[in-house]
Structure 1
Amino acid sequence: MSTLSEYTTLRLGGPAREFRTAATTEELVAAVAAADAADEPVLVLGGGSNLVVSDAGFPGTVVLVDSQEVSFEEAGADETGEPVVLVRADAGVEWDPLVERAVAEGLSGVEFLSGVPGRVGSTPIQNVGAYGQDVGQTIREVLVHDRRTGERRRMTNAECGFTYRDSVFKGDDRHVVCEVTFALHRSKLSRPIAYPEVARTLGAEAGDRVPLERARETVLGLRRGKGMVLDPDDPDTRSAGSFFTNPVVTAEEFAAVRERAAARLGADAEVPGHPDGLGNVKLSAAWLIDRAGFGKGYGAGPARISGKHTLALTNPGGATTEDLLDLAREVRAGVEEAFGVRLVNEPVMVGVSL
């Protein structure tokens, strides 16, 4: 009996009642269809980098996706005249090696997503994003197996409903992602820089474009400094990445947060906030956590906040899923008490909840 802790980056999770590996899309669809026909619960598992799994495990069939086909197709030019290449990748393809290959091929559009753990199939589910870039910006279509109809179909970008760290796939297991098609630009330069930290590190301005390899190495350096690149010798990387999403609040709610911050931290306290263009403000979850009293390395039990980044909750060794959730609940409650903002978990919960 396989223990799911072997397949999650948190190294947490109990046993699976049944475990199968799908090396092709056909095997993936067949395994899911067979479990559905037997009325068995199904968990489709990729890189395990965005999962928090119950200590009790999963009472059904776990299907590990290990399909590996990748293809490239020239697709003319976009409205700006830049050549476009369609990159089709099976759900089981490791994400960062695909990004590395795209950069080596001179294809831009995913370079700021370097170092993100996991596999291609999980990227549309969370609308994976980092450093001002997300996959929803480049995904052309997603091939899915519809568990309700038993058919396979291609969903357009619009049908995927991409928003901040969300899509129609998240929280709804109707569709199994089999393949993702990305529309990348053939260019030696990155997409325009959109993240201030990246711009500062590069000595550039927002909107500038830099050589692809330089963009990738810069992001990898930033991620390593925060423990966000998997390293078996670094316990700070034994996490699910960012545990909480950055809250998006109304202008009125932002004003209330600023009032609370001034009362708690002093009148000169500056709350980081970035307008989203829709009248709302995106806050920094890391800032809220830190200013609520949960600094790097915090933790009374075996689960701890990373010593490098307050957004990552880690299992340095010996923790259980319940230990991790206890810490997450403590942090969430502390932030809500301090600033009136309720944090939302980013990883998918399997058999547990906050």
Structure 2
Amino acid sequence: MTKESKNIAKIVNTPLGSLIHVGEKKVENIKITYTKYNNLELERKEINDLSKFINDTDDKVKWLDIIGIHDTNLVNKICQSLKVHPLVIEDILNTSQNPKMEDYDDYIFLVTKLMYFNEEEELETEQISFILFKDKLISFQELETELFDGILCRLKEGTNIRKNGADDLLYGLLDAIVDNYFLIVEDIGEKIDTIEDELLLNPKKEILQKIYILKRDLIYIRNSLWPMRNVISSLSKNDYDLIDGKTIYYLRDVYDHVIQMIDIIETYRDICSGMLDTYLSSIGNKTNEVMKVLTIFSTIFIPLTFLAGVYGMNFRYLPELNWKYGYFSFWIISIIIIILMLRFFRKKDWL
């Protein structure tokens, strides 16, 4: 069970539009960064007074980045001031959402998933939500990351992103989120290579556990990428007034990246299934080798047991019992039998 699914019970049987934060509190203090820019200038700063964003009528692109969504009153205040639908507010606060997109005429609402490996090499997820207006973009993050540093550098350098609207900024952020999946997939590929080497050399129970963890992570990534594919596909169909025609071509490139990663994930899933079969075959072969050695020892001792049984009988008259060299001859015969049987096994390539 994923961490998100464990929190779904919080919203069971609650009215639609309820302000309930579903998820973990990942930051102590909420950080609000306000960025506005045009082709000539850029201004970026942290703010506490939301009216600076809400009432700003400058002819510039405005980006409000909110890190930390556990304060339901703050999220509600921002959204209500921009006349955002209550169901959108509920989806922002519910971090168990799958990636999706909804068009509300005046704005477009998107939910995306960011994935990364923590220090314990466990797959973690963060929900990032966007609300796109004509000249405004609001992003809601659970915690602060370095994911958007590249976008900030491009804004400071005054590249083409400064010449375009808020939809191009949204494209850049979505592209950064999707490209981050390549890093996750690359990391999983390296883990698969390592496990394959261990599997061929010495299959252990720990390897089986690693394979199952990889399969679970791959399924979880695939379940996030498939709805992300639908989101990017919808945005790239040029059906929305808020998305400029020039941005459509870039969104199609992001869509191609998502398709490429889905194909890689499916390939890795097949490899993991093959590794499970290889593990079971290796364990079976290892068991067969052990049984083979035990069978050879048992077969060698069958004639020796027969001889010992014959001369261990309690008959009174056994000719060899009173023979001076009887004991010595018994061992000579036993050794000859062992040597002949070993040569026979080697000739048959059983050893």
Could you say which TM-score interval applies, normalised by the shorter chain? under 0.3
Q: Larger relative contact order (C-alpha < 8 A, sep ≥ 6)?
A: 1
Q: Radius of gyration: which is bigger?
A: 2
Larger relative helix fraction: 2
Query: Could you state the TM-score of these two structures normalised by the residue count of structure 1?
Result: 0.25
Q: TM-score, normalised by structure 2?
A: 0.26
